[in-house]
Chain A
Amino acid sequence: MTTHFIRSEMVPAQPAPHRTSGPILWLRTRLFSSIPNTIMSLVVLGLLFLIVPPMFFFLVPTTFGGHAIPFGLEPDACRVPGAGACWAYIGARINFFIYGFYPPDEYWRPNLVFLLGALLIVPLLIPRAPFKVINAVLFFVVYPVVCFYLLNGGVFGLRSVPTEQWGGLLVTLIISLVGIICSIPLGILLALGRQSKLPIIKTLCIMFIELWRAVPLITVLFMASVMLPLFMPQGTTVDKLLRALIGVTLFSSAYLAEVVRGGLQALPRGQYEAASSLGLSYWKSMGFIVLPQALKHVIPGIVNTFIALFKDTSLVSIVGIFDLLNAVQSAASDVVWGSPTQAMTGYLFAAFVFWIFCFSMSRYSMYMERRLDTGHKR
Chain B
Amino acid sequence: MAALDGASGNPPKTTFYNDPVIRGYIYQLLVAVLVIGFFTWIVINAAQNLAAQNKSTGFDFLGRTSGFSISFTLIPFDRTSYYWQAFVVGLLNTLLVAAIGIFFATILGFTIGIARLSSNWLVSRLATLYVEIIRNIPLLLQLFFWYFAVLKAMPAVRDSLALPFGSFLNQRGFFVPRPVWDERIVWMWLALAIVVVFCFVLRRWARRRLFETGRRFPVFLTALGGSILIALAVFLLSGATVSFDFPELQRFNFRGGLELPPEFVALAFGLSIYTAAFIAETVRGGIKAVSRGQTEAAESLGLKEGDRLRLVVLPQAMRVIVPPLTSQYLNLTKNSSLGAAIGYPELVNVFAGTTLNQTGKAIEVIGMTMLVYLTFSLLTSAFMNWYNGRVALVER
Please report A residues at the B interface, Cβ cutoff 8 Å. 30-31, 33, 37, 40-41, 44-45, 48, 197-201, 204, 210-211, 213-216, 218-219, 222-223, 226-227, 229-234, 307, 311-315, 317-318, 325, 329, 332, 340, 343-344, 347, 350-351, 354-355, 358-359, 362
Return A370 CB to nearest CB of chain B, in Å.
16
Q: Which residues of chain B are near A45, meaning CB under 8 Å?
A: 122
Q: How far is the CA of A223 from the CA of B120 in the complex (A)?
A: 49
Q: What residue in chain A is nearest B380 (Cβ atoms)?
A: A214
**With A234-B49, A325-B140 in contact, is A347–B356 under 8 Å at CB?**
no
Q: Is the CB of B153 within 8 A of A230?
A: no
Q: Is the CB of A41 within 8 A of B50?
A: no
At the interface, yes or no: B9 with Cβ under 8 Å from chain A?
A: no
- 22 A-B residue pairs with Cβ-Cβ distance under 8 Å, sorted by A, are A30-B120, A33-B119, A37-B119, A40-B120, A45-B122, A48-B126, A198-B24, A198-B27, A200-B32, A201-B27, A201-B31, A216-B337, A219-B348, A219-B370, A226-B366, A227-B362, A230-B45, A311-B138, A313-B138, A325-B138, A332-B148, A359-B136
Q: Is the CB of B136 within 8 A of A362?
A: yes
Residues 337-396 of B contacting A (Cβ, < 8 Å): 337-338, 340-341, 348, 352, 356, 362-363, 366, 369-370, 373-374, 376-378
Q: How far is the CA of A354 from the CA of B121 in the complex (A)?
A: 28
Residues 225-278 of B contacting A (Cβ, < 8 Å): none
Q: Is the CB of A214 within 8 A of B137?
A: no
Q: Which residues of chain A are near B120, meaning CB under 8 Å?
A: 30-31, 33, 37, 40-41, 44
Q: How far is the CA of A355 from the CA of B131 in the complex (A)?
A: 12
Q: How far is the CA of A233 from the CA of B27 in the complex (A)?
A: 28
Q: What residue in chain A is nearest B136 (Cβ atoms)?
A: A358
Q: Is the CB of B370 within 8 A of A223?
A: yes
Size band of the interface chain B makes with A: 35 or more
Q: Is the CB of A218 within 8 A of B340?
A: yes
Q: Is the CB of A198 within 8 A of B28?
A: yes
Q: Which residues of chain A are near B373, meaning CB under 8 Å?
A: 214-216, 219
Q: How far is the CA of A80 from the CA of B153 in the complex (A)?
A: 17
Residues 136-163 of B contacting A (Cβ, < 8 Å): 136-142, 144-145, 148-149, 152-153
Q: How far is the CA of A215 from the CA of B373 in the complex (A)?
A: 5
At the interface, yes or no: B7 with Cβ under 8 Å from chain A?
A: no
Q: Is the CB of A329 within 8 A of B144?
A: yes
**With A311-B138, A315-B140, A343-B153 in contact, is A44–B42 under 8 Å at CB?**
no
Beyond A229-B49, A231-B46, A344-B145, 6 extra complex contacts between A and B, CB < 8 Å? A31-B122, A199-B28, A213-B377, A314-B141, A318-B338, A343-B152
Q: How far is the CA of A371 from the CA of B142 in the complex (A)?
A: 33
At the interface, yes or no: B75 with Cβ under 8 Å from chain A?
A: no
Q: Is the CB of B378 within 8 A of A214?
A: yes
Q: Which residues of chain B are near A223, meaning CB under 8 Å?
A: 366, 370
Q: How far is the CA of A50 from the CA of B121 in the complex (A)?
A: 19
* Most interface-central of A197, A216, A318 (chain B CB within 10 A): A216
Contact of A230 among B32, B149, B337, B362 (CB under 8 A): B362
At the interface, yes or no: B335 with Cβ under 8 Å from chain A?
A: yes
Return A93 CB to nearest CB of chain B, in Å.
16
At the interface, yes or no: B334 with Cβ under 8 Å from chain A?
A: yes
**With A215-B334, A230-B45, A232-B45 in contact, is A354–B374 under 8 Å at CB?**
no
Q: How far is the CA of A362 from the CA of B134 in the complex (A)?
A: 13
Q: Is the CB of B137 within 8 A of A354?
A: yes
Q: Is the CB of A201 within 8 A of B28?
A: yes
Q: How far is the CA of A359 from the CA of B277 in the complex (A)?
A: 14
Q: Which residues of chain B are near A204, meaning CB under 8 Å?
A: 31, 35
Return B159 CB to nearest CB of chain A, in Å.
15
Q: Which residues of chain A are near B140, meaning CB under 8 Å?
A: 314-315, 317-318, 325
